[in-house]
Structure 1
Amino acid sequence: MRVGLTLYGDLEGRSGGFRYDRKLLDGLRTAGDTIEVIELPWRRYPRGLLDNVSPRFRDRLEVDVDVMLQDELAHPSLLGTNRRLPYPIVSIVHHLRASESRRLSPLYRTLERRYLETVEGVVCNSTATESVVTGLGVDATATVVAPPAGDRFDPPIDEEAIERRAREDPLRVVFVGNLTPRKGLKTLLEGLSTAETDAELTVVGRPVDGEYAATVRRTIRRDGLADRVRMAGELSDDELAGALRASHLLAVPSRYEGFGIVYLEGMSFGLPAIASRAGGATDVVTDGETGVLVDPGDPAAIARALTRLDGDRDRLAEMGKAARRRYESHPDWRETTARVRRLLEAVAAPEVRT
């Protein structure tokens, strides 16, 4: 097949969504498909909507493919344009904007519903994402759940090593994510400050929201956490692997995650996760077995989880070993690509299907 991919930004970006798109294209190439990538400039939402009335923008998308993949994050520029494109379209939904925003959620739901009406199929990264997509009117038979593999590191670690690490003091917690309100770092800090533990926290991530990053720093000073919180910033893959390997527990209590590949990457090191029960984390984190699920914005629940796991290292070790087993049983990229490719073949141009 001749397969296209349309997305905002640079395919080589470091976020989990870009990594997903890259790995998917690698798998399609391995299967013998040819790939054409259309990288669109990032747009503010209103500016993206204006693309739909631009003939020049539409001309850029008129390429010769059998089927076009679109990263749903680019939907503002595509919800009208798609109706005038010459090929069938399959959307990759990492998470819907309507699931993130509270104030503008009704507007985003309306516009994302209109966008999804223009596609023939949807690739969802989790069952939670699929549920939201079908809730916007997409026929479930036109969707496929194809989760990311989470094998960015695939470290060699056995149960004895997880057991030994669980006995070390103090409890070491790591947060991995951009410093934005959605990721829940401030909630994590508030939970850490009231937990009955001397746990230490390493924060890995870029301060993409300057105002929120300043709020985080003020929270650290206000709650007297300066000696227990290390702001590591953005790390290389090798440095991040070192931080995960040295930790006992991953804590990213996001307000919402479409999937949350970071939880799976932490589990590859035998780290249980503290995660939000809102969104796709529930596909990976089993409450009380491979981690702890908390409600979004609930620092008291985080405090209880930290206190309990610091005080019960046997439990911490068992959860760490269960987390590693969960990682090992997760579908690999070959299976994920195969699921997506079956959907692409089903919606591709008629001469490709025959």
Structure 2
Amino acid sequence: MTPFPGPFPFDGGTFGAAPVATGALSVALVSEHASPLAALGGVDAGGQNVHVAALAGALADRGHRVTVYTRRDARDLPEETSLRAGVRVHHVPAGPPERIPKDELLPHMDEFGRYLTRAWRDRPPDVVHSHFWMSGLAALRATRGLGLPLLHTYHALGTVKRRHQRLADPSPPQRVALETEVGLGCERIIATCRDEVAELGRMGIPASKVGVVPCGVDTELFTPRGPVAARGAHHHQLLQLGRLVPRKGAAVSVAALAQLPETELVVVGGPPVELLGHDPEVRRLRALARRTGVADRVRFTGGVPSADVPSLLRAADVVVCPGDYEPFGIVPLEAMACGRPVVASAVGGQLDTVADPATGRLVPPRDPQALARAVAELLADPVTREASGAAGRRRTLRRFGWDRVAAATEAAYCDVLDALPVVTRVGAV
């Protein structure tokens, strides 16, 4: 059996993704706020939704039966529906059946956990993998009582969020303590980058419980070949993609644009285009663009269907990812898979995904001048841009395809199952 990989060797070879000899497992993925069925681009709908949907599908491709448990947030949702062959989505009745900001969901997690206990008592999964800290709480309540193995992926840590947002952090005050409880209570933590391993160590979670498996990218959807979105009249085009929240750093991109003549910035994400004028972050960014004299060179598309994202990425000369912090950051992978160079802030998972200078540039966060200098260097050199894009494509194929990510995740499941005492073991490998 392939052993569960420890910290991912980003700078030497590929991680352990060889096939694992295993029978089909029944896998429960718990993702309380991030449904794999959700439309992307909203405040609480982003990379975790993509990750859970893609991981579920890739595990199903390896022969496993996967059920994703997510909160029922609309009255018309069925109890269970099919996402694709081998993957079911189960809507858990926890709290009112309406959209609630994720930072207000904590009071409903006990109900979520009780529901999981009832659902799994008669038909237990072989392994449970929770995503985000509140999912971990609900899953921990259920797995403790039933003797089921639990693995956990945080996707974001409260310690990091609090450090960067301080008083603006809307998380419940007990978040860090509860995240620590999840980390100590589960059998294994699957971190997504090396920076997270260090953060977990500072929380008192032993390194022996942590392995690194990165997020992935669909290298067949995100590819250099295919339609290219229409461009504006300006000579160069930058693209920023993701949720429209201040920490994603779109204000840094707008400020940098003042030093990049004949360049347009396309900002993709947020509410539908017809509602952009009511969005507070869009209003803030438009005001900044007017003050810096670049309002005619900033274009907001609003949220777009995921199928349209590759063509938008292909149209860009450079993709910018200047977030204040980034627990992992899927956008750099999507851009690299499309053969686009990336300029990203040197934070979190972007330290692992973007290879500077091979696939782009890493710059300090919250620094428009540094962002502008790095972008200008690439815009001035089309040969380097092309070489960086090609290197990024090779890097995603070699390291970040979902088949490799699923294989490494499967290896983690098998490692945990192998370590269970026979008398309490649920699954068999």
Report the TM-score range of the alignment, normalised by the length of the smaller protein: 0.7 to 0.9
The residue that corresponds to 1:252 in the other structure is: 321
The residue that corresponds to 2:392 in the other structure is: 323
The residue that corresponds to 2:69 in the other structure is: 38
CA-to-aligned-CA distance 1:141-169 (integer Å, 9 cap, x gap):
333322233125232449xxxxxxxxx97
1:248 to 1:338, Cα distance in 2 relative to 1, 3 A: same
The residue that corresponds to 1:145 in the other structure is: 212
Post-superposition shift, 1:223? 1.5
What is the identity, as a one-letter code, of the residue corresponding to 2:32? Y
Q: CA RMSD in A?
A: 2.8
> Secondary structure of the equivalent of 1:8?
coil
Post-superposition shift, 1:199? 1.3
> Secondary structure of the equivalent of 1:39?
strand
Post-superposition shift, 1:270? 1.7
The residue that corresponds to 1:59 in the other structure is: 114
1:270 to 1:88, Cα distance in 2 relative to 1, 3 A: same
The residue that corresponds to 1:205 in the other structure is: 269
What is the identity, as a one-letter code, of the residue corresponding to 2:325? Y
Post-superposition shift, 1:133? 2.8
1:118 aligns with 2:181: no
1:280 aligns with 2:349: yes
TM-score normalised per structure 1: 0.86
What is the identity, as a one-letter code, of the residue corresponding to 1:74? M
CA-to-aligned-CA distance 1:160-209 (integer Å, 9 cap, x gap):
xxxxxxxx97121111011101110001111111x143211111111499
The residue that corresponds to 2:152 in the other structure is: 91
Alpha-carbon distance in structure 2 between the residues aligned to 1:239 and 1:351:
42
1:22 to 1:180, Cα distance in 2 relative to 1, 3 A: same
Alpha-carbon distance in structure 1 between the residues aligned to 2:254 and 2:37:
31
What is the aligned length? 342
Greater Cα offset, 61-70 or 95-104: 95-104
Gaps of 5+ in 2: 1-24, 41-45, 73-98, 227-232, 418-423
What is the identity, as a one-letter code, of the residue corresponding to 2:253? L
The residue that corresponds to 2:132 in the other structure is: 72
1:329 to 1:238, Cα distance in 2 relative to 1, 3 A: same
Asked if structure 2 preserves the Cα contact closer than 8 Å seen for 1:79 and 1:114, the reply is no
The residue that corresponds to 1:241 in the other structure is: 310
Greater Cα offset, 30-39 or 278-287: 30-39
Post-superposition shift, 1:285? 0.8
Alpha-carbon distance in structure 2 between the residues aligned to 1:16 and 1:179:
13
CA-to-aligned-CA distance 1:29-56 (integer Å, 9 cap, x gap):
233333333212565567544346x4x4
Identity score, percent: 28
Greater Cα offset, 100-109 or 63-72: 100-109
Post-superposition shift, 1:265? 0.8
Question: Matches of residues 20-39 of structure 1 in structure 2 within 5 Å?
Answer: 20-39=51-70
Greater Cα offset, 5-14 or 200-209: 200-209
Alpha-carbon distance in structure 1 between the residues aligned to 2:134 and 2:299:
35
Gaps of 5+ in 1: 159-167
Post-superposition shift, 1:75? 4.5
Asked if structure 2 preserves the Cα contact closer than 8 Å seen for 1:79 and 1:118, the reply is no
Question: Matches of residues 142-221 of structure 1 in structure 2 within 5 Å?
Answer: 142-151=209-218, 153-157=221-225, 170-193=235-258, 195-207=259-271, 210-221=279-290
1:346 to 1:314, Cα distance in 2 relative to 1, 3 A: closer
TM-score normalised per structure 2: 0.72
CA-to-aligned-CA distance 1:215-244 (integer Å, 9 cap, x gap):
111111211212211111112234322221
